[in-house]
């Protein structure tokens, strides 16, 4: 069985993007409702048409949203078991629900207020943040600390940035990747972002400014980290047949895969004992293989890549893992300008998490749809196929190929 071209994204809705805390007094639920209603209106649908939720990263409670908005009947509601790793995969989850007959109109939505959530966890329970997420409800209950957390904290691993800095150091050691290569990722995405009225970062970024920025977790400095943002983005998916009669040109789901190598997923936040062949990687290689096989295309067919960029080096690693350049050559590939508009594979043409906004991956879905509709601010000429990725942030990671 294949999901290829059986379903389509027919509506995108979004709130404004806010800097951390500036969305108040709105709540996360209010933000989500506004995005969902906007996506339905974009498609020419109403709340009466909605009957499914395909979610990730504990974004919303379908029962609460269904009650507040007046959804007549929820026929499908499921959540992928990861944080940002599931954003692209949530589109595949929606497609699977529709193709199997469990629902007819499914929304994937992410809503975020950084005053309530932080990278990797919630502010509630066991101190909040990354370590709080791991320790709350762990092996010793809410008042204790599981052994793995004690090990990590003792080793200085207090946040995702610490873990991903180790992967980056390994990539540098194995392949000669440099901080200049990371800087090119951040600078290129800033150039895209400053042209977009939705972006939170509106000033150019220079190489000198990058190297003058404070170091957070060597080799990752301030500009290698995602921003902290508030906002919501929603995407509505329905059958390809129904999509033909709706308001917007359909964006078809060619293929979607999620999962990954098991030891990579747990290792990045615990003992770092992945096999050497994929230690310094984004964890996407098996997902990439499956999504290209499902869609029946190759990396050379992709016109624009929207790659999850909570940290700049993971863009480099995903370019390698999805086959846009050989393994170990992602740094020079970016430095040579291959991810710019009009180049080999324009990447994160909205500015990504680094410079537009961090809504845990759904801004990338929005940009992919705008590119394939031909209405993007930084439009890739003749764009027909877009790749969207989720994660890397543990498992599952995910990738989805879309076409106009």
Digit-coded pLDDT (tens) for 241-289: 999 999 999 999 999 999 888 777 666 777 777 888 888 999 999 999 9
Whether residues 15 and 149 fall in one domain: no
Residue 135: band (very low, low, confident or very high) from pLDDT cuts 50, 70, 90: very low
DSSP state of 329: -
CA–CA separation, 135 and 128 (whole Å): 9
Residue 187 lies in a domain: no
Residue 165 lies in a domain: no
Burial 151-164 (b: 16+ CB within 10 A, else e): ebeeeebebbbbbb
Whether residues 241 and 285 fall in one domain: yes
pLDDT higher than threshold 50 for residue 121: no
Whether residues 146 and 293 fall in one domain: no
Whether residues 253 and 284 fall in one domain: yes
Whether residues 244 and 98 fall in one domain: yes
Residue 350 lies in a domain: yes
| pLDDT tens digits, one per residue of 73-112 | 999 999 997 788 999 999 999 999 999 999 999 999 999 9
Whether residues 347 and 246 fall in one domain: yes
Q: Is 358 a catalytic residue?
A: yes
Range with lowest mean pLDDT among 45-54, 178-187, 201-210, 385-394? 385-394
pLDDT higher than threshold 60 for residue 37: yes
Whether residues 238 and 386 fall in one domain: yes
Query: The CATH number of the domain where 15 resides is what?
Result: 3.40.47.10
DSSP state of 265: H
Q: Are strands 251-259 and 220-221 parallel, antiparallel or unpaired?
A: unpaired
Whether residues 53 and 131 fall in one domain: no
CA–CA separation, 386 and 404 (whole Å): 9
Average pLDDT value for residue range 232-236: 98
- Rounded to 5 degrees, φ, ψ at 65 are -65, -45
Cβ-Cβ contacts under 8 Å for 164 (sequence gap 6 or more): 220, 268, 310, 311, 313, 314
| pLDDT tens digits, one per residue of 354-383 | 999 999 999 999 999 999 999 999 999 999
Active-site entry in 18, 175, 210, 358: 358
| pLDDT tens digits, one per residue of 163-213 | 899 999 999 999 999 999 999 999 999 999 999 999 999 999 999 999 999
CA–CA separation, 289 and 115 (whole Å): 38
Whether residues 316 and 386 fall in one domain: yes
CA–CA separation, 315 and 296 (whole Å): 24
Q: Which domain holds residue 275?
A: 7-115+229-403
Residue 16 lies in a domain: yes
Count of structural domains, the chain:
2
Residue 379 lies in a domain: yes
Question: End of a domain among 132, 158, 184?
Answer: 158
Whether residues 284 and 366 fall in one domain: yes
Whether residues 251 and 139 fall in one domain: no
Q: Is 308 a catalytic residue?
A: yes
Whether residues 80 and 139 fall in one domain: no
Q: Which of 233, 213, 234 is nearest to 222 (CA)?
A: 213
Residue 172 lies in a domain: no
Residue 1 pLDDT: 56
Q: Which of 152, 180, 201, 159 is nearest to 313 (CA)?
A: 180
Active-site entry in 225, 252, 308, 322: 308
- Rounded to 5 degrees, φ, ψ at 208 are -65, -45
């Amino acid at each position: 069985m294949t999901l290829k071209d059986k379903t389509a994204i027919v509506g995108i809705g979004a709130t404004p993007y806010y800097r951390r805390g500036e969305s108040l007094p709105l709540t996360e639920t209010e933000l989500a409702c506004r995005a969902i209603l906007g996506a339905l209106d974009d498609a020419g649908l109403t709340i009466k048409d909605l009957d499914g939720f395909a979610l990730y990263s504990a974004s919303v409670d379908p029962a609460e949203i269904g009650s507040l908005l007046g959804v007549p009947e929820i026929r499908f509601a499921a959540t992928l078991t990861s944080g940002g790793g599931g954003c692209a995969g949530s589109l595949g989850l929606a497609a699977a629900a529709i193709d199997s007959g469990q629902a007819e109109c499914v929304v994937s939505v992410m809503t975020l207020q950084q005053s309530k959530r932080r990278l990797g966890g919630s502010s509630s329970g066991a101190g909040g943040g990354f370590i709080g997420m791991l320790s709350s409800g762990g092996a010793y209950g809410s008042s204790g600390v599981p052994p793995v957390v004690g090990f990590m904290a003792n080793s200085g691993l207090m946040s995702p940035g610490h873990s991903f800095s180790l992967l980056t150091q390994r990539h540098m050691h194995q392949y000669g990747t440099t901080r200049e290569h990371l800087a090119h990722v951040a600078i290129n995405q800033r150039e895209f972002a400053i042209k977009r009225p939705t972006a939170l970062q509106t000033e150019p970024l220079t190489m000198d400014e990058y190297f003058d920025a404070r170091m957070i977790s060597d080799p990752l400095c301030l500009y290698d980290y995602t921003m902290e943002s508030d906002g919501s983005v929603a995407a509505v998916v329905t059958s390809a047949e129904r999509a033909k009669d709706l308001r917007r040109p359909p964006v078809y789901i060619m293929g979607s895969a999620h999962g990954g190598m098991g030891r990579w997923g747990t290792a990045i936040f615990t003992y770092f004992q992945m096999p050497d062949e994929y230690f310094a990687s984004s964890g996407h290689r098996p997902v990439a293989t499956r999504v290209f096989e499902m869609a029946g295309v190759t990396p050379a067919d992709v016109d624009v890549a929207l790659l999850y960029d909570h940290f700049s080096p993971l863009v480099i690693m995903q370019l390698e893992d999805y086959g846009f350049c050989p393994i170990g050559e992602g740094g020079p590939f970016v430095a040579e300008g291959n991810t710019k508009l009009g180049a080999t594979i324009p990447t994160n043409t909205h500015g990504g998490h680094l410079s537009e906004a961090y809504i845990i991956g759904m801004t990338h879905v929005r940009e992919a749809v705008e590119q394939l509709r031909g209405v993007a601010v930084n439009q890739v000429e003749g764009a027909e196929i877009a790749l969207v990725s989720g994660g890397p942030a543990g498992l599952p990671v995910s990738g989805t190929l879309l076409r106009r």
